[in-house]
Amino acid sequence: MIPPNNFITSPIKILHIGNSEINIFNTNGKNLDQVVIDDFGEEWKKFNNFEDPIIQKLGDGYFDIIDDDIVNSQTYCLDVGCGTGRWSKYLAQRAGFIEAIDPSDSILAAGKLLEGIKNIRLSRSAIDTLPFADNSFDFAMSVGVLHHIPDTQQALNDCVKKVKAGGYLYIYLYYTLDNRSLLFKFIFHLSNIIRRVTSKLPGRFKRIVCDILAIIVYMPFILICRLFVWAGFEKLAGRIPLYAYHDKGFLIIRNDALDRFGTRLEKRFSRDQIIEMMEIAGLTDIVVSPNLPYYHAVGRKKEFELNQSSESPLNYPTAG
């Protein structure tokens, strides 16, 4: 697929990382938290060396609800908040062309990870300053991003605006543990108290503390899960916190511990809230995957135009 050259503003400059080009745009949006973005830039500088089998294995879980009718060789895609670009890399074999954007230094890491992939274009940009015309994309995705943005509903609206009528938006948002036991919720609330402290630590120290938490908080749960799975009690293991990591490597565990305990703005949504927000943004035929990670969902853009000037009707409390 030939990339539609539809930047609506010219890049301020073009950076070259190896063979990759990165289009630099203004990231002075209103709907962003600069400290969170700077922290992600640091995080992805450290965790960017994802090997293809790891991306493939994780991606199969994240994208279980995205079939070839949604993404195929004719699909023009947008990856909002691409981080290292691992999900763009995952979809690049199936998609026509992907525009991957991120406002943080992680876009430089993406330049390295995606080097040589011809059907991905990288841009430094933010969700409310996207340099693309409205109604451009057949498929847009925002994976683990919208819960780190001050106004999640507005961010969702801004993504939907870029999708063609009849096109799709895929999101992954942190969940409120609405489908979990009281014990599970209690353990989560304890971890949230820790996060309020760790997320405010200075950079290098924060990364060391989060590595320690990966070992003393994550690993005990994960090892119990592995033991149960090994003994044939997979269903029981599934009820233990952090089961999702029982088959993941230590790099992913450290990365996610830094994500979880190192990010100061983190919101959470129930399944119903996610469906409601997607409907308000103008999506229909919404499918929420029954599988981990909770919750990832996809919806199709309705044929009518959303009134983008309206205020966010939802104001969910922030956990951060």
Using CB under 6 A as the criterion, which residues of the chain lie in contact with ligand SAM when the complex forms? 29, 31-32, 36-37, 40, 80-84, 86-87, 102-104, 106, 126-127, 143-145, 148-149, 259
Q: How far is CA 30 from CA 128, 150, 154, 155, 307, in A?
A: 7, 9, 11, 10, 19
| Residue closer to ligand SAM, measured from CB, 90 or 228 | 90
Q: Give the residues across from 175 on adjacent strands.
A: 269
- The residue (of 144 and 167) whose beta carbon lies closer to ligand SAM is 144
What residue type is assigned to position 82 of the chain? C
CB 27 within 8 Å of CB 124:
yes
Q: Is 101 helix (H, G, I), strand (E, B) or coil?
A: strand
Min dist. Cβ of residue 227 to ligand SAM (A)? 29
- Rounded to 10°, the helix 250-262/203-213 angle is 120
Shortest distance in whole angstroms from residue 140 CB to ligand SAM: 12
Q: Which is nearer to ligand SAM, 25 or 228 (CB)?
A: 25
In angstroms, give the least distance from the CB of 61 to ligand SAM.
12
Residue among 145 and 237 whose Cβ is closer to ligand SAM: 145
Residue 43 CB, shortest distance to ligand SAM, in Å, is 8
Query: Closest distance between ligand SAM and the C-beta of residue 248, in Å?
Result: 14
Cβ proximity to ligand SAM, 23 vs 106, nearer residue:
106
User: What number of CA atoms fall less than 13 Å from residue 266's CA on the CB side?
Assistant: 20
Q: Which is nearer to ligand SAM, 66 or 127 (CB)?
A: 127
Name beta bridge partners: 14: 23
Rg from Cα positions in the chain: 19
Residue 74: φ, ψ to 5°: -100, 5
| Nearest residue to ligand SAM on Cβ basis | 83
Amino acid at 279: E
Question: Residue 254: helix, strand or coil by DSSP?
Answer: helix
- Minimal distance in Å, beta carbon 228 to ligand SAM? 28
Return the number of the residue (176 or 263) whose C-beta is nearest ligand SAM.
Answer: 263
Instruction: Answer yes or no: are the C-beta atoms of 171 and 294 closer than 8 Å.
Output: no
* Least distance CB 296 / ligand SAM (angstroms): 11
